[in-house]
A and B are shown apart, each in its own frame.
Chain A
Amino acid sequence: MQSLIFAKQKILNDKSILFSLLSLSILLVLAKIIGILPDFLNRMPEDVIPKYAETFDEKFNNNRDWMTSITRFFSQRLEFQLKVMAHLFYGARVHFFNPIDWVSLIFPATAFVYFIDGRKIASVTASIITISAILFTFFIGDENQLTLMWLFLGLSAVGCIYTFVKHGFLSPMIILGIVSIYAIILNGYKLGPLPWSSIAATAAVIGYYLGGWRLALLGGGTFIWTALIGQWKLAMETLSVLVVAAPISFIIGLLLGIAAWKFAKFDKFLRPLLSVLQTLPFFTYLLPAVIFFKVGPTAGAMATIIYAIPPMILMTTLGLKKVSPEIVEAGKMAGCSRWQMLSKVYIPAARTELLVGLNQVIMLCLAMVVLTAFIGMPGLGAKLLAMMNSFKLGRSFEIGVTIVLVAVMLDRLSKAWVVKQPVHFERGAPWWERHFFLLAAVVAFFGFLLFSMEVQFADQIGRKQHFSKGKEIDGLIKGFLDIDGVQAVTGWLRWFLITKVLIPFRDTLLWVPTSSFILFITVFSLWLGGKKPAIYAFLFFCFVASTGWWDRSVITLYTVISAVVLAMLIGLPMAIWAARSDKWSRRILLFCDTAQTFPSFIYLLPAIMLFGINDVAVIFSILIFTLVPLVRYTVEGLRGVPPEMTEAADMAGASRFQKLINVQLPLALPTMAVGFNQAIMFAFFMVIIAAFIGTQDLGQELQRTLAGTDLGKNFVLGLCVSLMALTFDQTIMSWTEKRKKALGLK
């Protein structure tokens, strides 16, 4: 009884705080209307704004030297890997060689062998040879390095062949094969570029192994399309960065994830950092990369790697925590040491989550590699950027298709790997049957390699040989856009949205006094999420106000809000309608799944095509980008309502509308809120990219910093975006949690 009264009082308290804050913020607005609002409550006065950026820059410049020397060490190793891949994929030349790179390759390879096989013999011999190789290289001098390398390779070959013959372990042989390829390239022999037909054939075999004919078609087809349309080199420039960045992200994320799972303190420290990192606009990743690693592939790869790490960390901790306690106990009772527990029990048992993490890493890497076009990374993204800049819609469209195909292919293949389960062979199956797909891949690869030596077309597709129809499509699209009807519709939409909706809304937001704005956001957080998010909201927005970038932040917010509201107006009815039938739910979910894999950059294309370069295009691109999570989670939420509840509503004689309003929507709301939250996060991400179209918000300023070295300003701007996004994230997720608990869904 006592606690009940107490609870009542508490609610009363919360409510009274809510109302007093709300009335305070309304009072401030009224004060401004009458004209008695003091200036410092309207906008933060210039002279009290702390100089975050300057202080940061000063600190940074003082420490710059040692920081760059560390990063240079890493960037050179990375550059080496990128160069080798670039050589293999599109024939770039490799012209430098540093013994440390050699070690940087052997070491992870050895660790990999040990990890997969867990057999000391292979790894111990390899590492002894490695260490002696390092020592030798330092004493012998440059001219003898290559001799030494061959010696080293010879020795490891003996070791690997010995382990294969004696114990039948294949993995050292595979590593040896990879290392030999490096050795050959480093010796100046030309291995690359690999013929497109070989890669396409191998991709088809892998696709078939993972998911049958459909994925074989997708895997092979993507590469065939890319080659025939004449974008092979572009695609390979992009992929060569991806194949280096994704594994590194995966491994770093895995290690950090394991550390966070093992040490609670580290986890506590890491979590807030990760949420900031995940909401930080990508320009903020780019500039430090540029400053530390110079413009180009290395900087791009570095930014990509860092960008893709956070979700891998989260998936790793999640997966390790989810391992069933019985499996853990079984491992302990089998007498596992700690290392055995981790490598033989935890990690294999968390396979699904780790592979889901890998899928996310790959997709984020691809999205980021495309975006790093902004800092001069060559490849599909750069070409798309150039084509859009010169308004060549046909070519842009073709590149867009290629990017989408590559994204869908990578997504589907890696997802198929997640669900791929080991299958046993009948006793006494011959070795070629056990390794059928490995053999098929090797045969396909080398078969087409030989074939392309004879037939030039299968090797490289020359300038005049491709089937690009860029000009024709360009004409088609422009012709379509010139049709009066289309013109009228887009023109009217543009006029209506800009003059009647967007500009008034923006001006209102900009007119509202800062103090009142902050209070209003706090009230919103308090009402929806509760006390904790409200405090965060207040602090976060105070920080944003104190940076002096208030107006631009408000414009960013305005863009996000208008786009998400418009997306809801379109998306929710669509999703509700689709959720009514099984067939359409499935179709829409499949579509959303696919659309979600597209690199965000792609969404700019239709926006620019339809609306040209203005605010409506910005809103439109964000709108279609945010539609995806909104529709998807709404459909999933509505479909996820337990059938007995809808049946109960039916039996109670509810009409379809009553059922929707009273049963389905309330139960689906927590899931829908997750989609809503994701939509806002996506919007904050997209609004920054839309700076490319031309905006007046934080994104524009951020993009400008890329040209210079204003690291401080870049960080402050990035933090503004991140904190605004986090405010919404905290509030909505806190509401979702509360709601789920109240509904007993958790």
Chain B
Amino acid sequence: MTNSKPVISCNNVWKLFGFAPEKYLKTLSEDRSYEEIQADGYIAGVKDVSVDVFEGEMLVIMGLSGSGKSTLLRCMSRLHDITGGTIKIDDQDIMALEEKELINLRRNKMGMVFQSFGLLPHRSVLENVAFPLEMRGQSKHDRRDRALEVIKLVGLEGREDYFPRELSGGQQQRVGIARSLAIEPDIWFLDEPFSALDPLIRREMQDEFLRLQDMLGKTIIFVTHDFDEALRLADRIAIMKDGAIEQCDTPDKIVLNPATDYVAKFTQEIDTARVVRAKTLMRAGAKKSITGVALSANATIQELARTIVNDARKEFPIEDEKGKIIGSMNRQEALDVLLGDK
């Protein structure tokens, strides 16, 4: 799934809020804590963050409010200018871009979805979705065709002429999603897209989102404060606190090995078996001795629970999507995960 080449590459990124932050950053010693910086009169929105996002990958940035997750996202899209470090998109340093180049980058490569939708209230659904296309000067017919296509994709057919205030929250966010997809972006930023929705709709939208992602395979930066949502969607999760990344890894690894106490607080309440997949517990290499029905590498331990409990084999063979045996899983380890003993 991951490619060796990162689409977005952040190196020691800093974003400080306050008076003349660049100057302050230069004098800043490395081990200064968030609170100490705050005492100096600055807010560290993003604190020395280095992270790469690979093509077709979904990176979920998770953190509580004020942890700097949205700020980091806005740095990547250069809605904020960073104070220090570099952010490269396709090997191009985005801080070096002229205004015109930046506009071009956004017009052709980026799409973004906002927490409170950010729809233009005076424009109909169709006009909202076509807005980015209009900005880059596409002809009326072209943008209408494309907009209708994406509106259909997000399931809002027949509502093209409605105005945002005539739609429910979930529908409004569908418009937001359609708008962000209209230009066929390579990179898709989502800033807590489902936080403003009620739980049932949120669930539905997550499913919808996974369906879209399956179809489109974009590079995605997804911000959320909801750990369950992060586990459900992410290829990798970056957990943030006080502007810094505490841990950045795949969901099952985070659940199995939380790097800090802070991360552990989140994972405590999580049912590990729902997150950990067979391939995580798998030892690679097909052994002849292990026989019987193979288990799917991508299935979670909970999905395999019945087999693991009922089947008395010591080791289970594990197969990939194509049905090829790629390794084996120890039953006892799987049972430990299932029963919450880790």
Contact = CB atoms under 8 A, between A and B. Distances in A.
A464 interface: no
B106 A330 contact: no
A54 to B, nearest CB: 48
B115 A326 contact: yes
B177 to A, nearest CB: 12
Interface stretch (B32-40, B160-168, B240-248, B296-304): B160-168
B135 A327 contact: no
Contacts of B195: none
B161 A335 contact: no
Contact of A327 (B106, B112, B118): B118
Nearest to A424: B161
A349 B107 CA distance: 21
A425 interface: yes
Contacts of B180: 333
Given A326-B116, A326-B118, A327-B120, A333 B111 contact: yes
B122 A349 contact: yes
Interface in A334-389: 334-337, 340, 344-345, 348-349, 351
A167 B140 contact: yes
A329 B134 CA distance: 16
B161 A332 contact: no
Given A335-B107, A337-B103, A425 B161 contact: yes
Contacts of B117: 326
Interface in A119-171: 167
A348 B124 CA distance: 13
B106 A427 contact: no
B112 to A, nearest CB: 4
A578 to B, nearest CB: 34
B297 to A, nearest CB: 37
Contact of A329 (B79, B124, B136): B79
Contacts of B120: 327, 330-331, 344-345, 348-349
Nearest to A325: B118
Given A335-B136, A424-B161, A351 B122 contact: yes
B114 A326 contact: yes
Contacts of A324: 116, 118
Contacts of B79: 329, 332-333
B247 to A, nearest CB: 28
Contacts of A332: 79, 106
B199 interface: no
A334 B131 contact: yes
B132 interface: yes
Interface string B131-171: 11011100010000000000000000010111101100000
A422 interface: yes
A324 B115 CA distance: 12
A116 B331 CA distance: 70
Given A326-B116, A327-B120, A421 B136 contact: no
Contacts of A424: 124, 161-163, 166
B135 A340 contact: yes
Contacts of A334: 106-107, 131-132, 135, 179
Interface residues of B, number: 38
A423 interface: yes
Nearest to A340: B135
A349 B163 contact: no
Nearest to A330: B118
Nearest to A423: B163
Contacts of B131: 334, 344
Contacts of A336: 103, 135
Interface in B89-112: 103-104, 106-108, 110-112
Nearest to B77: A333
A423 B114 CA distance: 24
A331 B106 CA distance: 10
Contacts of A426: 161
A348 B116 CA distance: 18
B292 interface: no
A330 B119 contact: yes
B129 to A, nearest CB: 11
Of the candidates A348, A422, A423, the one having the most CB atoms from chain B within 10 angstroms of its own CB is: A422
B165 A421 contact: yes
Interface string A415-457: 0000001111111000000000000000000000000000000
Contacts of B108: 335
Contacts of A333: 77, 79, 106, 110-112, 132, 180, 189
Nearest first, the 10 A-B pairs at minimum CB distance are: A335-B107, A326-B118, A330-B118, A334-B132, A424-B161, A335-B106, A333-B112, A326-B114, A348-B122, A335-B103
Interface of B: 74, 77, 79, 103-104, 106-108, 110-112, 114-124, 131-132, 134-136, 140, 158, 160-163, 165-166, 179-180, 189
Interface of A: 167, 324, 326-327, 329-337, 340, 344-345, 348-349, 351, 421-427
5 contacts: A326-B116, A336-B103, A344-B120, A344-B134, A427-B160
Given A349-B120, A424-B161, 14 more contacts: A324-B118, A326-B117, A326-B118, A330-B114, A332-B106, A333-B180, A333-B189, A334-B131, A336-B135, A337-B103, A348-B122, A421-B165, A422-B124, A424-B163
